[in-house]
């Protein structure tokens, strides 16, 4: 709909009935000039839309001339010409509306806005993302941008046009698929459906806006689904000598594979093309990472010879990691492949199939798996996690536990990687054979079966929580920090061990026929489990529970001795009361380590009669009666 007024009508409306004053004339002229500088407004018909170049698409029947402001009304669908560039001033795509941009795209001179639930489809080979030349971009988080089959292969060309709601990347006529040319912000979800063999990845771009850019950081506030093709962080260097770094930060979940398609056509890899200068691709995922319907996890997608040992392919996961029984794996890239678990809440790795990062190579990349300090990861599913990279220039890599790693009974860590439990780390063991040392006569039992070094720190913590009777195994160090027994079927100690921290007996019987010793700060905490036999610490028996014996002698005159036992370090008080409930003496008050203790009560200054002595240790207390006869 066009809104115009003639100068004569405007002047008449200002001066009528008031006389022809200079002030009124000036006002009319100013208003006319100001109004005339505004662009004409055009709005679609509101009955479904149509072709941009058809008069029936627009209210009033007139196609918007170049430079006019345009509104695509709610729920209307409009497509542009295939042969020429479409021009306008401002462009507002209202809620629920759709605009499919074909041909040469749209050139703008005003503001651009996309409403809630609106859809913008880029099928032009000239526009890089949103229409070019807009004075500002307002994008509703629930809107959708679709990069169609004929769209330009670079998504985002400058930082001003790099914010989106939801994004869908469809199969593209570009030979290798679309890429990112700016720091993208996707407020909703990303769907990658570029087609089998194609990529959606970060590349270096040669525009003035991106000149000198050697790294991109993209942020997705929603979820990511890879339906087909390979979603990769980075492709190759900025130049022959300058590497490119690309990072994707994802707040939601990532799913690789989709049941609606053929299997094995969705891939996820930090690196795509080989690079001899050390590109770096990183995914930081706050949610879960899942592989279904043949989805593939790999360091890279090429195995050419033009690769650098300084390449870094990194996946940092804060949520759960899961593979169904069809998942695939690969490491056909040189450099380093890092899989790091960095969550602050418990994380689960579900192995629906054997995970094997293996490549006959060269090239091969070193595989580094890390449980970060503070992370708590459980591996379950009844399969193995294996890395076999014996020809990697950076070595075989390592599985490093800085936080907590729990491994279910039937799950194992295998391959040529080293396995390291760092000081302060915690290893939870579910296998019946516990953990075995690489020097063991049969090293391929228990949860850890790597061919390379197995390093179990004496300053780490170890937890046995299987469902069948367990042995601690030859891999348990002869000195540990904390040792937790949580297997209701029982655990047998297989070699003499010193515990410098806490022996926590949470469930079952700990068979200590082969004895353990408590270090200087060691203690036993009875939390539902028990020892097969009592233990001594510096020739003092450590009881399995709190107790207090009857005083001896009893009756007494004037002194008697009271014995009590403390199974773990506690704050202890021993007090004496008369028959009126009045406290008459405090025999002890303070911290006591685990052990057996005695205190004496001397009643020389008290009269004959009945007295009561009471011990309080933590939440445990006991009161007994004694008699003094003079």
126 HSE (CA, 13 A, CB side): 15
| 547-628 has CATH 3.40.228.10 classification | no
Q: Give the pLDDT means over successive 10-residue stretches in the chain (630 positions).
A: 35 37 36 47 97 96 95 96 86 97 89 97 82 92 92 76 93 73 93 90 62 82 96 75 87 96 93 74 97 94 66 95 96 87 98 92 87 98 94 92 98 96 98 95 95 97 97 97 97 96 91 91 81 66 79 93 87 95 94 86 94 93 94
Cα–Cα distance between 85 and 124 in angstroms, integer?
10
Cα–Cα distance between 456 and 422 in angstroms, integer?
7
SS (H, E, C) 496-543: CEEECCEEEECCCEEECCCCEEECCCCEEEECCCEECCCEEECCEEEC
pLDDT at 204: 66
Q: Output 40-43 pairs: Cβ under 8 A, ≥24 positions apart.
A: 40/2, 40/3, 40/4, 40/64, 40/65, 40/68, 40/69, 41/1, 41/2, 41/3, 41/68, 41/69, 41/71, 42/1, 42/2, 42/68, 42/69, 42/70, 42/71, 43/1, 43/70, 43/71, 43/73
Cα–Cα distance between 448 and 415 in angstroms, integer?
10
pLDDT at 32: 34
Find the angle CA(83)-CA(85)-CA(91) to the nearest 5 degrees: 135
pLDDT at 358: 87
pLDDT at 211: 55
Cα–Cα distance between 295 and 284 in angstroms, integer?
19
pLDDT at 69: 97
Cα–Cα distance between 290 and 343 in angstroms, integer?
16
Cα–Cα distance between 498 and 211 in angstroms, integer?
61
3-state helix, strand, coil in the chain (%, to 5): 5, 45, 50
How far, CA to CA in Å, does 526 sit from each of 270, 466, 566, 612? 48, 19, 10, 28
User: What angle, rounded to 10 degrees, do the helices at 22-36 and 7-15 form?
Assistant: 140
Contact between residue 370 and residue 343 where contact means Cβ atoms under 8 Å apart: no
Cα–Cα distance between 591 and 569 in angstroms, integer?
7
Contact between residue 560 and residue 597 where contact means Cβ atoms under 8 Å apart: no
Cα–Cα distance between 297 and 26 in angstroms, integer?
72
pLDDT at 274: 61
pTM: 0.81
pLDDT at 3: 38
The tokens for 375 are 């992370």
Find the angle CA(466)-CA(471)-CA(475) to the nearest 5 degrees: 105
Tell how strand 49-51 and strand 483-485 pair up: unpaired
Partners of 586 in the beta sheet?
575
């Amino acid at each position: 709909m066009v809104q115009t007024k003639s100068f004569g009508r405007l002047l008449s409306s200002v001066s009528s009935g008031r006389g022809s004053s200079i002030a009124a004339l000036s006002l009319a002229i100013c208003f006319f000039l100001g109004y005339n500088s505004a662009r004409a407004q055009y709005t679609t018909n509101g009955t479904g839309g149509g072709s941009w170049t058809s008069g029936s698409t627009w209210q009033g029947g007139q196609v918007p001339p170049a430079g006019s402001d345009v509104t695509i009304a709610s729920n209307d669908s409009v497509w542009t010409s295939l042969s020429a560039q479409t021009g306008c001033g401002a462009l507002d795509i209202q809620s629920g509306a759709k605009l499919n941009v074909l041909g040469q795209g749209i050139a703008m001179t005003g503001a651009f806005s996309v409403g809630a639930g609106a859809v913008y489809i880029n099928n032009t080979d000239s526009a890089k993302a949103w229409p070019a030349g807009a004075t500002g971009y307002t994008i509703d988080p629930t809107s959708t941008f679709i990069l169609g089959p004929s769209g330009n292969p670079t998504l985002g060309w400058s930082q001003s046009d790099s914010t989106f709601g939801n994004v869908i990347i469809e199969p593209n006529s570009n030979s290798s698929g679309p890429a990112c040319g700016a720091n993208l912000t996707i407020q909703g979800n990303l769907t990658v459906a570029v087609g089998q063999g194609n990529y959606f990845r970060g590349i270096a771009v040669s525009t003035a806006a991106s000149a000198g850019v050697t790294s991109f950081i993209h942020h997705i506030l929603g979820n990511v689904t890879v339906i087909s093709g390979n979603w990769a962080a980075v492709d190759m260097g900025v130049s022959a000598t300058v590497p490119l770094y690309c990072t994707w930060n994802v707040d939601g979940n990532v799913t690789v594979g989709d049941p609606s398609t053929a299997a094995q056509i969705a891939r996820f890899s930090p690196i795509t093309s080989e690079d001899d200068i050390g590109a770096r691709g990183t995914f930081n995922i706050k949610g879960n990472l899942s592989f279904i319907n043949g989805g593939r996890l790999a360091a890279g997608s090429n195995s050419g010879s033009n690769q650098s040992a300084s390449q870094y392919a990194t996946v940092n996961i804060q949520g759960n990691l899961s593979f169904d029984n069809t998942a695939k794996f690969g490491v056909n890239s040189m450099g380093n492949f890092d899989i790091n678990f960095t969550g602050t809440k418990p994380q689960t790795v579900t192995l629906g199939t054997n995970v094997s990062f293996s490549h006959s190579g060269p090239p091969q990349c070193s595989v580094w798996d890390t449980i970060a300090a503070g992370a708590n990861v459980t591996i379950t599913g009844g399969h193995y996690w294996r890395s076999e990279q014996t020809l990697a220039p950076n070595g075989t890599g390592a599985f490093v536990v800085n936080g907590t790693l729990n491994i279910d009974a039937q799950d194992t860590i295998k391959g040529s990687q080293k396995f390291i439990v760092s000081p302060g780390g915690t290893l939870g063991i579910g296998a019946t054979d516990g953990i075995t040392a690489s020097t063991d006569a049969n090293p391929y039992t228990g949860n850890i079966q790597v061919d390379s070094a197995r390093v179990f720190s004496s300053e780490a913590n170890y937890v046995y929580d299987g469902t069948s009777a367990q042995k601690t195994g030859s891999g348990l160090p002869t000195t540990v920090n904390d040792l937790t027994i949580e297997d209701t079927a029982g655990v047998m100690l297989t070699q003499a061990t010193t515990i410098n921290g806490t022996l926590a007996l949470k469930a079952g019987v700990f068979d200590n026929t082969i004895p353990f010793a408590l270090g200087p700060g060691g203690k036993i905490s009875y939390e539902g489990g028990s020892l097969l036999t009592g233990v001594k610490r510096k020739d003092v028996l450590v009881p399995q529970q709190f107790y207090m014996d009857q005083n001896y002698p009893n009756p007494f005159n004037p002194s008697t001795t009271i014995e009590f036992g403390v199974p773990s370090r506690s704050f202890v008080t021993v007090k004496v009361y008369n028959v009126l409930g009045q406290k008459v003496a405090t025999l002890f008050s303070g911290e006591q380590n685990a052990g057996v203790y005695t205190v004496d009560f001397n009643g020389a200054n008290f009269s004959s009669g009945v007295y009561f002595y009471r011990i309080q240790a933590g939440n445990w207390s006991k009161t007994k009666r004694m008699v003094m006869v003079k």
